[in-house]
Amino acid sequence: MVSSRKVVEIEDQVRALMVEARDDRESSAARGSGRPESLQPRRALDPINIRDLIVPGVGNRRIFRILLTNACRFSCDYCPMRAERELPRHALEPASLARLFMTAFRRGWCDGLFVTSGIPKDPVFAMERMLELVEILRFRHGYRGYLHAKALAGAEPGQVERLVRLVDRVSYNLESPCQRA
């Protein structure tokens, strides 16, 4: 049995990682002094970052957006997760995130998943964790729905190839990690 303290910790981590999983337009807005309304923490009963997305040829989807981790060793000026920024750092294990997503999917809260990640150690390590998540969803849980992953700059070409074969959509930031680590 999972202790109630552990459940609260996981809920807090999930809430923080979902709030940080903004789209690129929101991330740049967050650098200003005031936070736009859409970036405010959600109510306690609505911690999940689910967005509507129109997928050409498929229609409207409700996408569960989350980060594997908001920890990052780089301090890139453009990034809301940069290392020098003061914020609580959280990380979810790929298997835990897969279970969380599958619960939301089975309850009908979402139709698909968008996942990205900070780079806590190096891009190869972070990309391997993302691949682990995707493989758990596809192979262990048999999930055949929509998956969108953001490939990480600096990942190995073979990792990106594996990701492309497993997901429906891959995005890739053209920015590269800065050299300040």
**Is the pTM here over 0.75, yes or no?**
no
- The structure tokens listed for 165 are 């074969």
Residue 46, CB half-sphere, CA atoms under 13 Å: how many?
Answer: 7
**CA angle at residue 14 from 63 to 9, to 5 degrees?**
160
The string of pLDDT tens digits covering residues 61-117 is: 889 988 898 888 888 877 777 888 888 888 889 999 999 999 999 999 899 999 999
In this prediction, residue 40 carries a pLDDT of: 44
Q: CA 123 → CA 17, 58, 156, distances in Å?
A: 19, 32, 8
For the cut 70, the answer to whether the pLDDT of residue 23 exceeds it is: no
In this prediction, residue 57 carries a pLDDT of: 78
